[in-house]
Every structure is written in C-alpha cells, then in structure tokens.
Amino acid sequence: MKLSIIAFLICAFSLFFASFLFYPKWQQGRTEATLSWDVSGYYLYLPAIFIYKDITQVAFLDSIIEKYYPTPDPQQVFPHPSGSRVMKYSAGMAVQYLPFFLAAHTLAPILGYPADGFSLPYQFAISFGSLLIAILGLWFTRKNLLHFFSETPTALTLLFITLGTNYLDYAGINGAMSHNYLFTIYAILINTTITFYKNPTLGKSLGIGALVGLAALTRPTEIISCLIPLLWGLDSKIAIQERIQFWQKRLPMLIGAGFFCVAIGSLQLIYWKYVAQEWIVYTYREQGFSWLNPHFYKGIFSYRTGWLVYSPILFFALAGFVTLYKKNRSQFWALFTFFTLFIYIVFAWDEWWYGGSLGQRAMVQSYAVLAFPLASFVQFIYKKRPWNYIFYAVCLLFIYYNLWLTYQAHRGGLLVVGEMTRGYFWKTVGRYEIPNEYRKLLDSHDFFEGERKDVKVIYQNNFEQDTTSTLCPIPPIEGKRSACLSQTLKYTPPYSFPLQNGAAKWMRVSADFRCQAKEGENWKMAQFIVRFMNNDEEVTSRMMRVYRFLNDNETKRLCQDVKLPRKLFNRVEILFWNVESDKALAIDGLEAELFNKK
C-alpha cells in the first residue's frame, strides 16, 4: 500500500477517534453539544424553513434555548428596523448541512425523537456529516500534493496537519464549525483548478465558480478564494500573457464560472431582501475590521490564542514558502498571494481571538493551502542528514504537544480556551495536574510562591456595619452581617486604606466567600478587585474571578497576592463587582497583609 494512503487512513481514523470515541459532541448537552454557539447560528436557517416555517421572526428560538440551551442568549438573531429578526450568520453552512439535516429529520420520528431540529438525531447527523466532510478534504489534499510531491512528503504533510495542528480539533471534534467545511472547499477548489488547467472543460469551470461562491456564502471574506484559480500557474510575464489568451479563447467558461459564483452568493442577498427588505444587511453590528491596524502579533504569537503558539509545527509551512519559491514557482505566487491576503483579513478583525478557541480557529481553512509549502519544506529536508532527524524529533514533540492541547481543551480542563496568559501557560504546559492556585494566573500576572516574612496586617473589615446584607439571599458567613453581591447589588463600595511606596514588596488580600450556585460563565463571574490609587487617579489594578475557586453551596477563604507598584501611590481600594451574574455571593472577613519573600 502506498505511504500516502497509509497516512490518509491514519488521519481518517484519528478524526473518527476524536469525533466518536474521545469527545463525541453529539452526546454532549447544552453549550457543549454539536448544535451550540456559532454552529447553532449557522444551522438555524434549516429548522426555520423546514420545520417551523418562520424565517422572518425565528420565534421558536426562545423555546429551543429554554429546552436545549445551545447558547446563553439568542445572539444568532437580532431585531431589524423592518420588524423582522435577522440571522447573524450567512447561509453557506446551512446549505452544506442540508443533506444531513434532511436525513435526521426523516429518521427522528421513526426513532422516537422529537422532530424539532435539535434532538439527538440532528446532533448526530451534523457530527457524522462533518466527519465525512473532513475525510473528503484530507483525500483531496492528498491528491493535490501528489501532483507535485512524492509519497513521503505527501504522507508526512497529511500527518503533520492532522495530528500536529488545531485542525484535529476543528475537524475531529468541532467539525461542524465552518473551518472544517472551508478546508474541504479549498482542497476541492485547488484540485479542480489543477485539473482544469491540464484539461479545461465547461464543467470544471462551473465547478470552480460554484466552489468560490459557496466559500463566500459561508464566510463572505472567503471570496478571496477566487485568487487561487485566477493566479494558478502564473510565474512570469509570459505566463500572464498566455493566460489572457487562454481566457480570450474560453470566454464562455469564464462567464459561466462567474455566473455560478454570483448565483450561489446571491442566496444571502435574497434572504436579506425577503426578511429585512434590504439587499445588504451588516449582521455583525458592533464587530468589524481595523484595516489600518491588524492584530498580527497578538493573533500569531499571543498566549491567549496565538496561531503559532498553539500550532507551532506550521512554522515549517511558512519556511516552506522559500523552498516552494525555488522549486515550484508556478504554484508559489497563487498560494503566497492568497495566504498573505488571507492572514491580513483574519487578523484585521477586531475580535482577533475569535471567541473561545483552541489556537486560531480562523486559520484552519488555510491549511489546505499551507499543505503545499509544508510539503515543500518536508521534501527539502527529509533526506538531509542529520537535520532530518532533528526535524522529525521536533515534529514528534509538536504532535505530542497538539494532542496534549486537544486533551486538555476537552477532557483535562487545564487549557482554558480564550483566556490563556503567559504565566498560566508556562505553569501548565505538558502537565496533567496542577495546583488550583495556578488558575489565579488566568486573571493576573502577579503570583507568589515561597515562604513569607515580615507579615503585617494593615487592614481588616468584618462588614458588621454593612447595611446591604439585609437584601442578601445568603445568610451571613460570620457574625450578623456580610457584604453581598447579587443580581441587583452589582458593586460593593470601595474599601480604602492608606498605603505608600516602599512599605513592602507584596500585599496579600483575602476574604471569605459563600455562594449557593456556581457561576459557570467566566465573563459573568464576580471579581475581587485591588486598586492602587494616587489620590483619585488609578495607578494600577489586579483582579481575581472568584467563581474559578467556588462550587455550589461552598464557603471558602480566597486570597490574591499582588506586587506593590513602583509608581507613586498613596492608598489602596478593594472592591467586589458582580459583572453579569444573577448568582448571589456573600463576602466576609476581608483582610490585607504586607509581606516580603523569605
């Protein structure tokens, strides 16, 4: 059996294992289900059209959220001045989900499940269909690479992308996200482009137009996929002249491709016109692009979700553009031009971290393109001893690292997607158990380890004079009163005491906390805040999310250690903020201590 076939089968099995044995999302509930968060928004067109016959108001969504809780709030739709509720996401994913949805909708009543669009058969069908799409994408990626590379670099490239990058997560576990489907669209588009220029036919040209249109219907910025067929093979002025002549002789093919692209893309325009009486509706509202200030460094190198921090094996793909330029220039310009524009668009988006994701999920579809420079680099180095052995060892390390990340994101719990910091990253990387105290580094870079000396208590407050406790649904922790946070009591007053530079190196602030129910959404969690003030000006502040360390019906003493700032300050304020939670929280025994490291 050919080496690339063996690699393909290993990759396909790995995706199957991740999807159906390691973490089957179709068996999960609420916001961990297949049809949750963004996916539920992509998918919403289908139940709206085929089940509830309500594409203009989407009134059924409220009951779906109450029953299945796919998202904390109905962010997938928003009210429009026309009186309708408009879908946030474009329709491309719904078009691609359609055959799997129809299969589930047929089988759900037969199997005894509600035909409501979100019961188990629908969850399973979208998960299984997404796995098939991923395997199809890998198959076409293999075919694409074999046009230009031998078996070994092709096989290794498939393994490196599948096992060594966050593609494993976004094809095998979160495969219903758009990135998996777009990866496959790009793989098929490249293959169709290659075969078209070898043997041009009307059918292939229409297929290219349809694929570009479907990519743009899925994510409008993917319209740049048209650069791949337009620039493919152009490596000189002579090639450009020949290409112009080529299209002059085949103008109907070019027009047909454009027609199919526009026809598929226009489905979104038709929806907007029908629902909102406008041809164009900007559905992301407050979100947008900073074209003059793209977030390259944060998007690529930050510990929060930096692309190469979480998929470092793709450093070799970037290096491979050099070898691709030298050895396969006819592919280089199309792929490099596309990728340069693609990465610019991805990181010009203001929400550059793309929500809670393992690394940069928005980059995943580009791996169908990056497979070429990665294979080029592999082909360059795999016979160069001893460098090839070093290369293999590094790649095995990166594969292990990616498997560790994937495990921690779904089973281990150490990877807190979208919230990672430098300090927390280096305290956890490669580990399977950590002290719970390390989670403080998710909120602050100040963290004390070691023995304390010169400990001095400088502030205490038992809140016995606090009048808000009478409004608290939680009984006092100690004495007659405790401070309280609730849905209506969002803030405590700032508790202030004098302090100046040089008093010590560190300060520990601690308090007792009691809750009835844990707040699970980190952006809603109550915050324990320490502010250093110079008169009325804030010098710096630190905070800790309390519910990271509290469980249901638990009382616990929590502390945070902060370094005293070097900048001039003359007092400290401590306060508690219930950001967006409706959970009540009692606070007592507030204390501040100065200390130095022993």
Q: What is the pLDDT of residues 255-288, one digit of tens each?
A: 999 999 999 999 999 999 999 999 999 999 889 9
Whole-number average pLDDT of the chain? 95
Directed axis angle between helix 237-249 and helix 251-276, to 10°? 80
pLDDT at 131 over 70: yes
**What is the number of other CB atoms lying within 10 angstroms of the CB of residue 466?**
20
Give the span between the Cα atoms of 598 and 589, in whole angstroms.
26
pLDDT above 70: percentage of residues in the chain = 99
Number of H helices, E strands in the chain: 20, 11
* 552-567: average pLDDT: 95
CB 230 within 8 A of CB 261: no
pLDDT at 218 over 90: yes
Give the span between the Cα atoms of 269 and 259, in whole angstroms.
15
* 134-143: average pLDDT: 98
Give the span between the Cα atoms of 97 and 176, in whole angstroms.
9
Question: What pTM was estimated for this model as a whole?
Answer: 0.95
pLDDT of residue 468: 65
Hey, what are 295's tokens? 């977030």
Which of the residue ranges 26-40, 409-423, 457-471 would you say has the lowest mean pLDDT? 457-471
pLDDT at 558 over 90: yes
Give the span between the Cα atoms of 474 and 305, in whole angstroms.
38
Each residue's pLDDT tens digit, 299-356 = 999 999 999 999 999 999 999 999 999 999 989 999 999 999 999 999 999 999 998 8
Give the span between the Cα atoms of 106 and 110, in whole angstroms.
7
pLDDT of residue 520: 86
pLDDT of residue 356: 83
pLDDT at 125 over 90: yes
**What is the number of other CB atoms lying within 10 angstroms of the CB of residue 375?**
31
Each residue's pLDDT tens digit, 6-21 = 999 999 999 999 999 9
* 534-550: average pLDDT: 96
Hey, what are 86's tokens? 């408009």
**What is the number of other CB atoms lying within 10 angstroms of the CB of residue 435?**
9
Q: Which residue has the tokens 């479907």?
A: 214
Q: Which residue has the tokens 């719904």?
A: 94
Hey, what are 238's tokens? 């002579």
pLDDT at 60 over 80: yes
Q: Which residue has the tokens 């399977």?
A: 432
pLDDT of residue 469: 62
Give the span between the Cα atoms of 377 and 83, in whole angstroms.
55
Give the span between the Cα atoms of 165 and 26, in whole angstroms.
23
pLDDT of residue 470: 65
Enumerate residues 6+ apart whose C-beta is below 8 A from 374.
157, 160, 161, 314, 316, 317, 320
* 527-554: average pLDDT: 96
Beta strands at 526-534 and 483-485: parallel, antiparallel or unpaired: unpaired
Phi first, then psi: what are they for 365, rounded to 5°?
-65, -25
Enumerate residues 6+ apart whose C-beta is below 8 A from 468.
483, 484, 489, 492
Predicted confidence band at 426 (pLDDT cuts at 50, 70, 90)? very high
Give the span between the Cα atoms of 570 and 177, in whole angstroms.
51
**541: which strand partners?**
531
Give the span between the Cα atoms of 598 and 454, in whole angstroms.
8
* 453-457: average pLDDT: 96
Each residue's pLDDT tens digit, 457-494 = 999 999 998 776 667 788 899 998 999 999 888 999 99
* 170-197: average pLDDT: 98
Hey, what are 189's tokens? 């588009």
Predicted confidence band at 33 (pLDDT cuts at 50, 70, 90)? very high
- DSSP 8-state assignment for residue 51: T
| CA nearest neighbour of 587 among 462, 497, 488 | 462
Report the alpha-carbon angle 566-571-573, nearest 5.
Answer: 110
Give the span between the Cα atoms of 322 and 277, in whole angstroms.
50
* 364-391: average pLDDT: 95
* 49-59: average pLDDT: 97
Please, what sign has the CA dihedral across residues 309, 315, 317, 318? Answer: positive
Q: Compute the half-sphere exposure of residue 561: CA atoms within 13 Å on the CB side of its CA.
A: 19
* 537-556: average pLDDT: 96
pLDDT of residue 254: 96
Beta strands at 77-79 and 495-498: parallel, antiparallel or unpaired: unpaired
Each residue's pLDDT tens digit, 151-162 = 999 999 999 999
